[in-house]
Amino acid sequence: MRDFSSDHRWLSLNTATVRKQGDLVEIIEACASHGIRAIDPWRDQVAAVGLDRAARAVRDAGLELSGYCRGGMFTSDAAHGGEVRDDNRRAVDEAKALGAPCVVLVVGGLPQFSRPGSAPSRDIVAARAQVEDAIADMLDYARQVNMPLAIEPLHPAYAADRACVNTARQALDICDRLDPERSGLLGVALDVYHIWWDVEVSSQIARAGRERLLAFHVCDWLVPTRDMLNDRGMMGDGVIDIKSLRAAVEAQGFCGYSEIEIFSNYWWDKPLDDVLRTCIARHRTVV
C-alpha cells in the first residue's frame, strides 16, 4: 500500500467538491497553487467555461485527469432514447478532448428521475435491462476512440433516482457480460461512500482486479446523515475505514489517484483554499 503521509502526489480533486466556490478555471488554478496534480471535472462545470477553455486550463496548469464525470442516466422512455444516446456520445468526445482516462457512468434510476419528462415507472428490473443495453451501445462508441467506461455502483439509497446499479458485484456482473475479454475498456469506479457497507466489498474488489479498477473515490459517511445527497463527510469525519478499502484496491494493483469527491452543503460553504488544505491534510492522515 502506498504511503500517502508525506505528500499528496496521488490526490485528485473531483471538482464537484468545490463547485459552489468557483468556476472550473478558478478551481484548476487553486488546485495548481496547492500542488494538487489531478482533477475529475463535471460536464456542467466544463460546459460553463467552454470545452476548449477547460482543456486549455487543464493543460496550462499541468494537471492530469483521474476521470470525467459523468456519462450515464441511461434510463428513459422511448421518446428520450435519442437524447440518452447523443448525450453519452458527447460525453465520450469531451472526455477525449480533455485527456480523461475514463468516463464515469452514473447509470440512472427509474426513467422519470434519470431523464425528467419520461413516463413514470416502478419497474427497476426493466430499468436495469435498459442500462445494460445502453452501456453496450456506448461501449461500441467508446471503443473507437479507446475511452474506458467506469461504471460507478451507487449506494442503494440512490436506486430510485440516480443509479439502479448499487453494488460492486452488480457492476462487475455487467462488466463480465459486456466485456468478457477484460479489455480494460469497461470497469468500475469505486467510491468508498457507496460501497463501504457491503459485506462483499473485499471479495468483489479482488474479483475486479486491476483491469476493472478504473477509479477510486473517497469521502466519508456521517452519522447522522442529514441530507441524502449533499451531506457527505470529509475523510476522517465519519465511520468508513478508508485505509482498508484503499489497501484492498491497491492489493489488486490499482496505482491511480485517490480522488476526493464530497457533495456537502457544509463544505460548499467554506472558502476554497480552506477546503483544499483540509483535503490535503486528510489525504495524508486518514486516506
The binding site for a second copy (CB under 8 A) comprises 110, 113, 122-124, 128, 155-157, 159-161, 164-167, 170, 196-199, 221, 223-226, 228, 238-241
| Residue nearer to a second copy on the CB measure, 197 or 268 | 197
At closest approach, how far in Å is the CB of 106 from a second copy? Answer: 15
Q: Please report, as a single letter, which amino acid is at residue 60.
A: D
At closest approach, how far in Å is the CB of 246 from a second copy? Answer: 14
DSSP H or E segment with residue 17: none
At closest approach, how far in Å is the CB of 54 from a second copy? Answer: 31
According to DSSP H, which parts of 100-251 are helical? 111-114, 124-144, 168-178, 192-195, 201-212, 242-251
| Residue nearer to a second copy on the CB measure, 136 or 160 | 160
At closest approach, how far in Å is the CB of 206 from a second copy? Answer: 15
Give residue for cell 482543456. 55
| Burial of 26 (C-beta count, 10 Å sphere; 0-12/13-18/19+) | middle
At closest approach, how far in Å is the CB of 280 from a second copy? Answer: 22
| Residue nearer to a second copy on the CB measure, 45 or 166 | 166
At closest approach, how far in Å is the CB of 265 from a second copy? Answer: 14
User: Does residue 38 come out as left (phi exceeding 0), alpha (psi in the -120 to 50 range) or beta?
Assistant: beta
Whole-angstrom Cα distance, residue 134 to residue 179? 14
CB 66 within 8 A of CB 257: yes
Handedness of CA 192, 171, 216, 154 (dihedral sign): negative
| Residue nearer to a second copy on the CB measure, 118 or 167 | 167
Task: Give the cell for residue 10.
Answer: 496521488
| Residue nearer to a second copy on the CB measure, 34 or 246 | 246
At closest approach, how far in Å is the CB of 189 from a second copy? Answer: 18
| Residue nearer to a second copy on the CB measure, 78 or 223 | 223
- Rounded alpha-carbon distances, angstroms, from residue 65 to 42, 156, 229: 11, 27, 24
CB 68 within 8 A of CB 100: yes
